[in-house]
């Protein structure tokens, strides 16, 4: 296959769709890799590193997109990028198509494209292998971001997450005990915060409790969420429904009842958000205030540790990329249920895709 690795064009997206180690393995199997000039530079990978393993450097995005049978991206293509993609191509990446606009979905379909969404790839045991390491990275970052956002110079209420011997620590509420919630629990506990975790899955709460006896656990009934949010200094909302928009679990009324200058982090924002008052923000302007509460709604948190994140994408996604490249998309989908579940569109036909309007583009 001809494989394209373009430079990401979305603002504050510093990751790259494939690092040199992965390119080398693909080339050794007989594939040709076209890497756009400086595609990996922000993640710490230079053009000479790609050239050393046999990649062909191209100097325009049109060529990186246009030559590719298989495009390895981080985020879904922009409208302008779709003009450069050859009809019938395969695009693999963290596509989050459940939150895109319906007109873009129709355009993707009309181009006969195949879209493989890493975040939808699911193993028989229910785990999402590509999303898992990125959730770990995002969870670790969430705690340090929350610590900063609580500072006065960031507009916060001026609290130290862990407190000191004579001053109480911050109350942190985590909604969702999945991979992100579990690692966020570890990070916030490590910083000394008082943590409460809510989920609808009793087994998930049991895992949290067995690992962290100091952490409070509650079933995520609306009444319990409202009560927990009212007492919280930080709310981390991390609700995931692979391939679908998450439900709203924190309502505007719950936000209005929170303490002034408390912090909400809507980690589900890349799928549309699970907090009623959320809207997209960026790393440049990460917060806004709604109902007296600070909202942090950055969708690509791991992007700011681009080297770590790009390596994590390689480690987790390469077995699936390898099968697609060597078997072709039809055989890969038919022989591997995980890839089949991750395929949102196959040759322009809807396979596993829940789209909604309005979306984010």
Domain boundaries, the chain: 2-127+306-350, 132-303
For 19-73, the pLDDT digits (tens) are 999 999 999 999 999 999 999 999 999 999 999 999 999 999 999 999 999 999 9
**pLDDT surpasses 80 at 357:** no
**pLDDT surpasses 70 at 361:** no
* pTM given for the model: 0.87
For 306-346, the pLDDT digits (tens) are 999 999 999 999 999 999 999 999 999 999 999 999 999 99
The mean pLDDT of the chain is 94
The CATH architecture annotation of domain 2-127+306-350 reads 3-Layer(aba) Sandwich (3.40)
Spatial separation of the C-alpha atoms in residues 353 and 345, rounded to whole Å: 7
CATH of the domain spanning 132-303: 3.40.50.720
Phi-psi region for residue 254, left (φ > 0), alpha (ψ -120 to 50) or beta?
alpha
**pLDDT surpasses 50 at 356:** no
Spatial separation of the C-alpha atoms in residues 311 and 306, rounded to whole Å: 8
Residues designated catalytic: 96, 270
Spatial separation of the C-alpha atoms in residues 87 and 72, rounded to whole Å: 16
From the number of C-beta atoms within 10 Å of its C-beta (0-12, 13-18, 19+), residue 343 rates as buried
């Amino acid at each position: 296959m001809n494989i394209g690795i373009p430079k990401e064009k979305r603002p504050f997206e510093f990751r790259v769709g494939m690092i040199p180690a992965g390119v080398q393995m693909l080339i050794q199997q007989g594939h040709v890799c076209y890497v756009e000039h400086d595609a990996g530079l922000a993640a710490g990978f230079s053009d000479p590193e790609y050239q050393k393993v046999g990649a062909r450097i191209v100097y325009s995005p049109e060529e990186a997109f246009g030559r590719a049978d298989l495009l390895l991206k981080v985020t879904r293509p922009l409208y302008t990028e779709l003009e450069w993609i050859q009809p019938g191509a395969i695009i693999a990446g963290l596509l989050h198509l459940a939150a895109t606009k319906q007109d873009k979905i129709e355009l993707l379909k009309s181009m006969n494209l195949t879209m493989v969404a890493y975040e939808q790839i699911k193993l028989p045991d229910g785990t999402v292998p590509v999303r898992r390491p990125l959730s770990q990275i995002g969870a670790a970052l969430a705690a340090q971001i929350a610590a900063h956002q609580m500072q006065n110079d960031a507009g916060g209420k001026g609290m130290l997450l862990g407190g000191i011997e004579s001053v109480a620590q911050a109350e942190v509420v985590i909604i969702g005990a999945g991979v992100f919630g579990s690692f966020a629990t570890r990070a916030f506990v490590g910083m000394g915060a008082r943590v409460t975790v809510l989920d609808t899955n009793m087994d998930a709460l049991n895992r949290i409790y067995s690992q962290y006896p100091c952490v409070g656990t509650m079933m995520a009934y609306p009444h319990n969420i409202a009560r927990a949010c009212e007492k919280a200094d930080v709310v981390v909302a991390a609700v995931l429904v692979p391939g679908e928009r998450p439900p709203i679990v924190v309502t505007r009324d719950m936000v209005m009842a929170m303490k002034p200058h408390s912090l909400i982090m809507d980690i589900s924002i890349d799928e549309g958000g699970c907090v009623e008052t959320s809207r997209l923000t960026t790393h440049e302007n990460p917060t806004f205030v709604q109902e007296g509460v600070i909202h942090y709604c950055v969708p690509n948190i791991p992007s700011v540790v681009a080297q770590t994140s790009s390596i994590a994408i390689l480690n987790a996604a390469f077995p699936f990329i390898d099968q697609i490249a060597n078997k072709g998309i039809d055989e890969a989908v038919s022989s591997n249920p995980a890839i089949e579940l991750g395929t949102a569109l196959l040759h322009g036909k809807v396979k596993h895709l829940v789209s909604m309007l309005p979306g984010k583009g």
